[in-house]
Amino acid sequence: MAMFGVEKDLLVYFSREVQLDLSGDESPGREVEANELDVQQQPRDLRRAYFTLIGAIVNAGLAHVGALEDVFMTLIQACVASAGVDGASASPDDPKAIKSCFGSLRELTRQWFSEDGTCSVPEFEAFARQHLVQACFTTILQPSFDVNELQYYGALGEIALVLLLLAHAYGSEFLEYIRSEYLHQLLSPDLAQEFVAHIDQSAAVSLKAGKKRLSAFLKHFLLRMRSSSGSPPTAA
């Protein structure tokens, strides 16, 4: 179903505003004066309102590909920025934003990918391969992504669902793709095999059960990596 003109215009407007906010000058290391807190909260509130709008449009099946090309990248930027990538976060430690971002991306993945691996929107398939998978790993591997905190664990669940939906769509091809493109740079062969095996096993059950299983594994895996090395490996 095509998007109505008003929703399309709103998406374009909010996309530009949020991109400006993401590139704004917020220095996490600087002490914040009390009277600055309200001012700093405003961009975060704007981002959250934007993500809520995106989620409502996506969930209603009104996503229009032409209008969403820039929105895709805004969501990815917001996901990784909210996780504090390279210390350059525009909204540091905002798990609600991360969850909302990946929630919309998860729903787009669910709507547009079929079980046989075909995608009804070629632009989104290319986006998923080039950016979405990388964003999943980049986000969870940041030291600020605290899997012991409930809101971050909720965001982890959305990321797990994205990985599971792609695994359902592509099967063994997807598992080999993440092993060769991402995991071999981050993990030893044994750990990479363990990671892929858990995605495969979680994809073999219902989506609800798979989400629970994969989320628990990812939490345990990240905690184990951090305890053994002091911090998780950083995605390239």
* CA–CA distance, 216 with 62 (Å, rounded to integer): 33
Model pTM? Answer: 0.71
Please tell me the predicted confidence (pLDDT) of residue 133.
87
Q: Looking at the chain, list the stretches that DSSP marks H as alpha helix, in order from N- to C-terminal side.
A: 5-22, 37-59, 65-82, 95-112, 122-127, 133-140, 150-170, 172-178, 184-186, 189-203, 207-229
The predicted structure's pLDDT at residue 149: 94
Q: Exposed, middle or buried: residue 191 (CB in 10 Å: 0-12, 13-18, 19+)? A: middle
pLDDT, tens digit (0-9, with 9 covering 90-100), for 30-50: 555 555 556 556 666 666 666
pLDDT of res. 114? 80
- Rounded Cα–Cα distance for residues 224 and 201 (Å): 20
pLDDT at 195 (0 to 100): 93
DSSP-derived secondary structure letter, 84: T
Low-confidence ranges of the chain (pLDDT < 70): 1-93, 229-236
> Which pLDDT score is estimated for 3?
42
